[in-house]
Chains A and B, each alone.
Chain A
Amino acid sequence: MSRIRFIEATRHNSSWFEVIQRFSRNKLSVIGTFILLVLIFAAVFAPLIAPYPYDQQDLSRAKEYPSKDHWFGTDNCGRDIFSRCIYGARISLQVGVFAVAMAITVGGILGAISAFYGGIVDDLIMRFLDVVYAVPAVLLGIAIAATLGAGLRNLMIAISVGNIPSYARVVRASVLTVKENEYIEASRSIGASDLRIIFKHIIPNALAPIIVQATLGVAIAILSCATLSFLGLGIQPPIPEWGSMLSTARNYIRQLPYMSIFPGACIMLAVFALNVIGDGIRDAIDPRLKD
């Protein structure tokens, strides 16, 4: 009986419900979410949606402007750009999410350890990460991708390594500020254990900036992925990736501008969507901004 009531109670006081409610009041974020959902849908059901296979070449219809048959036109090999953009969403979203997940796990653990233990541990970890941080992320990505070779997995690793220091910093800063709050001392004074304080009081309070950083990070990772592919270090043809499509389109930018416009617009849309979602989450997650 009490268990059932408890479930009801937790459902009732679930702050996530309120967070979603507040998030949905922000129109821009809702539009962003809609765009992202469309992209995710496209990525998941690409074989069903795309009118042509991404690597089907039809040289007789190469370099065609957008038409009824080819909504986004065809590229220099006669491949349907619309289909390739849809398949491209798969790669970009995958790289974005996994690269950020990797970076946030490693960076988050390092940052949290630094903040908790402080002293020499903090110095060692953070100074090492500063060294990594000093190298521009793209340059580091290029170096790693060049060393490991091209390919999806290596691309993810290359992008995530460059992002580790920034996540470590965000998590560390956020845990440090939260740790100093009086309510942490207060929860110690009511007999809460360290683990409980960390998971119940510190992490939820430290989460907001991390979530925002992560959402924006996915956008940045998609851009890095496009950059590396543009440079020929990422996804190899004929696998469609927005960045590598742009790279090919660059040669035809004067004659066939639509070849670069559509993949470019895809990148822009994805980045825009993730950015406004990040902002929306930041505002929604803070109960002080409620109403």
Chain B
Amino acid sequence: MLSIQDSKIKRGGLVLNKNILEIKDLVIQYKTRKGIVKAVNNINLSIEKGETTGIVGETGAGKTTTALGILRLISDPPGKIINGEIIFDGKNLLELSASEMRKIRGDRISMIFQDPMTALNPIMTVGEQIAEVIRLHGKLTVHESMLKAHEMLELVGISKDRYYEYPHQFSGGMKQRVVIAIALACHPSLIIADEPTTALDVTIQAQVLEMMAKLKNDLNTSMILITHDLGIVAEICEKVVIMYAGEIIEAGTVEDIFDRSKHPYTKGLFDSLPDLDEDKVRLRPIPGAMPDPTNLPNGCNFAPRCPFKMPRCEVKEIPTIHFSDTHFIKCLLFANKD
């Protein structure tokens, strides 16, 4: 156990950068018969060590594509990373060979999938599946990895006696715990959780989230949490990124976003949530739907739905406006105040 931690420190030892992950100008597109789907457009994102960043957005905003892009798991064809850099621990992942990339997946960066019902191999015991990732990265012998898998099971609150059981013998919440155990087994520096609780009951959601947050802190791991649930974000994230139509339209700390949100879309998101304190007569949903990703509008992608739309929103390139070190938006509303 200790030796794993040591080697990890050595590997990243000389890099003094406090960011574990930096994404620069990432562009990901899918080629389909209908045209080119612009799934991720020029996003910039950095994740600090030990920090949890929430990526929030509607379905189709490019959250999952971004996550898969980081691990280079976009299936090609039809998907392709067109441009950008993904600097993880000082190395650009996009320049690594396929086998170097495999060494990173599961070991340094791991992923928790949305649906635990289908994320486990139905004909392998859960224990074998946890042991597999440990074995794959060649750290321990077969027997040791089995013991380690026992340990991981206990860590996520499952008795190690259930090592030899199959996924179908587990409930949804238990399966997600197994998935989390697999993701944490090699003590990765970064976990990408793609809507880890969407498929679970509300009561189980809280349990799983609490456990994830605790384990993440214990192991000092960074996490990207993809979700469309702002409540979850408020609970466990330090930073928030709001995505819309493949772009980051607002980003900041949880306080920045929850207390000082500026972008009309972010405000719209909050207005479409029920609030116990305020006596709202009716929720105010954002009118319209996300633009067709094969045919994005000129200028601001949100302009067609924006209540504060100005004529130049549909013409001009939208600048990024910083309010503080952490808080920035992409919106022309605040551009003229500079």
Contact = CB atoms under 8 A, between A and B. Distances in A.
B71 interface: yes
B111 interface: yes
A179 to B, nearest CB: 10
Contact of B143 (A2, A15, A188, A189): A2
A60 interface: no
Contacts of A187: 121, 132
Given A190-B106, A191-B106, A13 B71 contact: no
Contacts of B71: 189
Interface stretch (B48-56, B112-120, B305-313): B112-120
Nearest to B106: A190
Interface string A185-220: 111111111001000110011000000000000000
A239 interface: no
Nearest to A119: B77
A185 B146 contact: no
A189 B111 contact: yes
Contacts of A290: 166, 168
Contacts of B124: 201, 204
Interface residues on B, range: 35 or more
B285 interface: no
A183 B104 CA distance: 18
Nearest to B75: A185
Interface in B156-197: 163-164, 166, 168, 179, 182
Given A182-B113, A287-B122, A287-B168, A190 B142 contact: no
Interface string B111-152: 101010011111111011000110011000111101000000
Nearest to B108: A191
Contacts of B118: 181-183
Contact of B113 (A9, A185, A200, A204): A185
A5 interface: yes
Contact of B121 (A9, A12, A183): A183
Contacts of A189: 71, 73, 105-106, 110-111, 113
B137 A205 contact: no
A186 B102 contact: no
Given A13-B125, A290-B166, A190 B110 contact: yes
B247 interface: no
A181 B103 CA distance: 22
B123 A205 contact: yes
B107 interface: yes
Contact of B123 (A12, A182, A191, A287): A287
Interface in A153-202: 181-183, 185-193, 196, 200-201
9 contacts: A12-B164, A15-B125, A182-B113, A186-B111, A188-B73, A189-B106, A192-B102, A193-B99, A204-B124
Interface of A: 2, 5-6, 9, 12-13, 15, 181-183, 185-193, 196, 200-201, 204-205, 287-288, 290
Interface of B: 71, 73, 99, 102-107, 110-111, 113, 115, 118-125, 127-128, 132-133, 136-137, 141-144, 146, 163-164, 166, 168, 179, 182
Closest 7 CB pairs of A and B: A190-B106, A2-B143, A191-B105, A191-B106, A182-B118, A190-B133, A189-B111
